[in-house]
Structure 1
Amino acid sequence: MTIVCHQGPVLAGSATLATLGSLILYSGTPGRYGKHSQSASSGVSLLPARIAWFLQELPSFVVSVGMLAWQPRSLFEQPGNVLLGLFSAHYFHRQDICPGSAMEKSNPSSQNVISKEYLLSPFDCHSTQKERESSGLAEILWWQSCRLLLFLLHFEGHGRHFYLWTTFIYSLLTRGRPYPVILFLRAIAFCMGNGFLQAHYLIYCAEYPKEWYTDVRFSLGVFLFVLGMGINIHSDYLLRQLRKPGEIVYKIPQGGLFTYVSGANFLGEIIEWLGYALATWSLPALAFAFFSLCFLGMQAFYHHRFYLKTFEDYPKSRKALIPFIF
């Protein structure tokens, strides 16, 4: 099969991502879902949050993995294929970081098969709020990275069936407000287009030297990606624990990086994509990282403002996105 790189669509797609990010900054408004969604009485068509979040992010995984499976070269022959695996892993790994605990709640007789590795972290599923809040920022960042690596090693050692079962339940665990249909359709189009852009560039356009795996950009980028994913997953877990089944009320997040910022989950995902951009050293990845920074940064800013307005006892020292700074 001939390897053909279409530079025109790659440049156009990258420019589109950068433009969308700039428009978000210019508009100065958050995405109208969750805390910032319109009421049902406004006449906006809505979808259940669990269905919307599952389906809208699925194209990014399906498109990237599909193109990776059908690409003509050996899977590990090119660094671009491995880097695309990082992109796919983000959407493949949108799950509960405590799958054993999730299973125990629904089936008390189930076994937590990752308890040995998981309890090596001071932020295990069974740690108390006081223990999580007493840890410093450096310790939090360090353990989030180590914890995710242990989880991935567990996956390799215990087979893929259990992991596959837990992978796509992240969205099904969501307890958010109904999601606007128009945003759902936009998200599907975005995820499909961005998945194709990242996959096409890394498979057909990117050219890396054989020593790229030892390049500092690759090593540091992968480290940041894994670190960001750990922060993102752990923060999402903490948010889910705030609500009981059936609840839609908002509460003050506690523990982890929420000790320092209101948008800990957003910060983790931003770090992920900055690491991805560094590891790939590509224009499409940089454009996506810029878009993510604009979109998620705006969400974090308005989340922070929402908390300050809603809760009189909200920690005044907590920042929106960057600890101690912003």
Structure 2
Amino acid sequence: MHSPNWKALVLVGVMLMACLQCGRDGDSSEPSASPTAGGDDHTISGDSGDASAGDVAQRPAGDAGPVDEGGKPPADSRSTGCGTPGKTGSFHLTTTDGKGATRDYAVQVPSTYDAKTPLAVTFVYHGAGGNEQAAESFGLQDAAKTSSASIFVFPQGVEFENYGVGWDDSCGGYDMVFFDHMLEELEQQYCIDTARVFAAGFSWGCDYVTGLRCCRGSRLRAIAAASCADEFSNAADFKTYANMPCPDVGVAGIRFTHDAKGDGAYSQEQFTTTSALYRSFNACSATSTATSPSPCVSYQGCASPFVECAYPGLGHTLPENWASDTWDFFASFASVH
């Protein structure tokens, strides 16, 4: 779904950012933890096609997704794998994608796993040219209180057309089926809380997570989108997002982190338009209030929370404490079990 011009610009931007980060090893598109820029001069500018409640991205009438008005998951959210003993630790599994190709994904299951106690499942997607190890290096699975709370999944991307290893983030693409198969197989093999499925991604992985939010929204409870601005035919209008109208927008929380002024891979305008897209997903107003940690804001009137954190001088990377802040956001979506 990525156009040649779009992909070329992003890859060039990522390479330029990597050149500025001396001494880094491995995949140049992947972030290292970066100190948070100080001060309170952050700006989340513009409304890029004012995303109001009237602009909700095609949620089917009456479809509230997996979360009710009180923000609690349904009581019958235990997967079919509950009661089935499962392997623990770190290992790899395979399944097929939408083209029938065999795909690999890394899995981490807590050593304390109890087949009677449903866990969250969290997917973490690497950036352009990355791999499962790069996604693991983001550290989400190492955040406090995650060790017994979630199964973590690190999918491996494949070559996308001629643009290197990445993701097909179109609703009809092969990677949406890859997600379906991973989740279905884990739900059959482990005791999963099906109302606490989370997804996080950086850069191209973040673009893919945005696609999941639009194409598989009812399967998700929340996403963390880091440094991306998915495809718009008009960079100033969120309604031109390539997956519109969303077939399954659902109601899932969103946490969006990025550089306040653009980061070399994506412009400030693209981030502003992506923010408007996320507000449309969650039926938020354009009004926001400050929330912790600084410089984050929380939008008002939303069907499900949307938090945006625009860091001055961040660059194309993850902010300091991204893993712990992201898990705190995910953990705020309570389980009934």
Q: TM-score, normalised by structure 1?
A: 0.25
Q: Which structure carries more strand by proportion?
A: 2
Q: Taking CA–CA contacts closer than 8 Å with sequence separation of 6 or more, which of the two structures ends up with the larger relative contact order?
A: 1
Greater helix fraction, Structure 1 or Structure 2:
1
Of structures 1 and 2, the larger Rg is shown by 1
